[in-house]
Chains A and B, each alone.
With several copies, the nearest count.
Chain A
Amino acid sequence: MDIKREDLLQLYYYLKLTRRLEDRATSLYHQGKILGGVWTSNGTEAVSVGYGYALEKNDIAAPYFRDMGVFLIRGITAKRIMAQYLGKKTGVTGGKEGNVHVGDLHFGVFGFPSHLTDNYPVGAGAALAFKMRGEKRVVAACTGDGGTSRGDFHEGMNIAAVRKLPIVFICNNNQYAYSTPLKLQMAIKNVAERALAYGMPSKIVDGNNVVEVYAAAKEAYEVARNGGGPTFIECKTMRMHGHSEHDSAKYVPRELLEEWKKKDPILYMETYLVGNQIAKKEELDSIDLRVKKEIEEAEVFAEESPYSEPEDVLKGLYATPVEE
């Protein structure tokens, strides 16, 4: 696949933006400024950036909680996300929800329900609507390796396969589900083998190579968009932080982390861009500077934003309120 230089640089920008935003959230967490937990996609950013960037404007993302790249790419700004972390009124959910439990229909992003893989059937339903209405839109739904053990994975995959719905199922296989390694999660070698049960084509990609993720997703979206039905994409990667920022992840062998550190998706992309003379180091540095500034501004914005009022608790339960 031929990818425009501009797109490659954007992919780099979003990798950086995701990393820096989550790094900053981690710091704020350790400073006690974020009251809830912080889960990052550290080390696996290429997954959400890759599949998120491959979507078209009118498509839908049904993400899970390590999909920061998707939020940013779709148009949920770093400011709103930072404010979200701090529980501010200007956050994506106005303080109603914390951290990554966000969504915004204006940008075609479904909210993430914490219950893992609930978004597979939900995503399939949006795809069903597109197919019924004859719209050339697709859905990308994502979950973790652990999330593939849930019943909703099975039911969502099956419905999509039976009806050839325009959806692509992504799996961020980062080797662990909290402390649970793959071998206690499934008795197969590749998560992608799960797709066999649905007669669904699958692909395995290097989840640390954003270009590969992007290309695979793009291709699968086009198949789906043209009536070819769903694809399952397993992105092999490695969670480099703990499950959340309070987890030291002692259960992960250090060697494994060492090994994967070399494959860091940002490093990888830098080498790729510079090595293939697509961009100069200085150009990347200037992108990084822009990112840094964006995050700083986001933080200031978030810090200066007001909190919601206690009475906001009672607002917004129903879309059609019932008169008393």
Chain B
Amino acid sequence: MKETTYLEAIKEALDEEMARDPDVFILGEDVGVYGGAFRVTEGLSEKYGEWRVFDTPLSESGFTGAAIGAALVGMRPVVEMQFADFVSCAFDQLVNVAAKNHYRWGAATPLVVRAPYGGNVHGGAFHSQCIEGFFFNVPGLKIVAPSTAYDAKGLLKAAIRDNDPVIYCEHKYLYRRIKDHIPEEDYAVPIGKARIAIEGNDVSIITYGAMVHTAIEAAQTLKESGVSCEIIDLRTILPLDRKSILTTVKKTNKVVVLHEQTKTGGVGAEISALISESCFDYLDGPIIRIAAPDTPVPYSAQMEEAFIPQPKDLITAVEKLMRY
């Protein structure tokens, strides 16, 4: 076991998968010699050559389409969006080509799109978006969003080995801020399986990505006042791990869903609806959602802090629920 940052974990996954499988390659803007805007691919070009760590022209739709074509003839491309926000330029290729290939004509599209997403990095409206909402209503895609270095590595490996298009949401805020002891040996984290980040009995907090850490912080405070939170880290957003969600609800009977994505039409809505639908009789209180307000991500530190859900928001919600 060695201590590894979230960012290093991503790089290790890329490196190991490229070493293991010659069909794996990376493409995107400045991923080659430069090593990517966030330095995630640093050194890989020297190691694997400029064709396997492939600098593209500035054309998200073009290189995502190209990745799809390569995938169709047996490659396993990993596309890097320089910022997740730019995936909007490749929306059509992902939604209409990648997502529908298998259903429409039976062709597998083993493709990973790495999307450095999320706020708290003073990026403003175009460098901070949570993009899972763009794709959450698109059948045929998979979406994962690791919250730990362990999962960052394991989910990326699983995504690369998966035969479907996977949007891999890597949270920029976590890149260098969190570390884990992760195994030396090869492992993958299965797509479609949530994990229990903290076990608890009184209330379930269902979340993913950077918000897992916000939840943990809140849970620590809440523990001091005697409230035991169970934190579910979804890891995969599409398709959701219904079983894990329903299991925790049946256990605690109270739920807060937490995400950084804006509230309306967020992943939290689906989770809430799933619960209402499937274990309504287990609920001892309303399902509360804590999420960013329905606006673009603002820039200034003061406004961004108000925008992004904070531990205190979660604590207020849980306290409200505990009074039920």
Contacts and interface: CB of A to CB of B under 8 A. Distances in A.
Interface of A: 35-37, 60, 62, 87-88, 92-93, 95-98, 101-105, 110-111, 113-116, 118, 120-132, 139, 146-147, 149-152, 154-156, 158-159, 162, 177-180, 184-186, 251, 307-314, 316-320, 322-324
B249 interface: no
A101 B64 CA distance: 21
A179 B70 CA distance: 24
B247 interface: no
B36 to A, nearest CB: 9
Given A60-B73, A114-B85, A98 B61 contact: no
B200 interface: no
A156 B66 CA distance: 8
A121 to B, nearest CB: 3
Contacts of B322: none
B100 interface: yes
Contacts of A124: 62, 65-66, 69
Contacts of A87: 122, 299-302
A29 to B, nearest CB: 11
A146 B58 contact: yes
Given A115-B88, A149-B57, A310-B305, 19 more contacts: A36-B299, A87-B301, A87-B302, A95-B302, A96-B124, A96-B296, A97-B124, A103-B104, A111-B104, A114-B125, A118-B96, A123-B69, A126-B73, A146-B58, A152-B65, A159-B57, A179-B55, A309-B302, A319-B164
A122 B300 contact: no
B97 interface: yes
Given A159-B59, A310-B302, A310-B303, A319 B108 contact: yes
Contacts of B272: none
A312 B55 CA distance: 40
Contacts of B73: 60, 126, 129-130
Contacts of A125: 65-72, 77
B34 interface: yes
A111 B301 contact: no
A311 B122 contact: no
A121 B303 contact: no
Contacts of A154: 59, 62
Contacts of B33: 179, 251
A62 B69 contact: yes
25 contacts: A35-B301, A36-B299, A101-B125, A104-B106, A105-B107, A110-B69, A121-B69, A122-B65, A123-B69, A124-B65, A126-B72, A129-B69, A132-B70, A155-B63, A156-B65, A179-B33, A310-B302, A311-B306, A312-B298, A313-B306, A318-B102, A318-B140, A318-B164, A322-B192, A324-B242
A43 to B, nearest CB: 20
A209 to B, nearest CB: 26
A310 B306 CA distance: 5
A140 to B, nearest CB: 12
A122 B58 contact: no
Contacts of A97: 104-105, 124-125, 298-299
A251 B59 contact: no
A170 to B, nearest CB: 16
Given A111-B107, A121-B93, A156 B295 contact: no
B89 to A, nearest CB: 6
Given A185-B57, A307-B300, A318-B140, A93 B104 contact: yes
